[in-house]
Amino acid sequence: MKSEKPTQEDYDNWHKDPKNWYLRFFYYNPKDKRLLPPKKIEWMGYTINFANPYSVLLLLPLVIIIVLIFIKINQI
């Protein structure tokens, strides 16, 4: 089986498909290998493709920083 790179048309169709947007906010598409696809409203930047396994590596440092901030605030 030949694995072809998705075309821009594929990316556009995936982006427009409401089944790839959980709660109209979270993008989840296993066929889309991009880690940071455009947001639903494209001019607003990028979002995380939660179907990409590397998304956890992107979110983990953010969660750790937030937890450390809350711990530090509660110590004051």
Q: Retrieve residue 8's tokens.
A: 């821009």
Q: Retrieve residue 66's tokens.
A: 């937030």
d(CA 2, CA 69): 48
What pTM value is reported for the model? 0.75
Strands (E), 1-76: 21-22, 26-27
d(CA 22, CA 4): 26
pLDDT tens digit sequence for 14-64: 999 999 999 988 999 999 999 999 998 889 999 999 999 999 898 899 999
d(CA 46, CA 42): 7
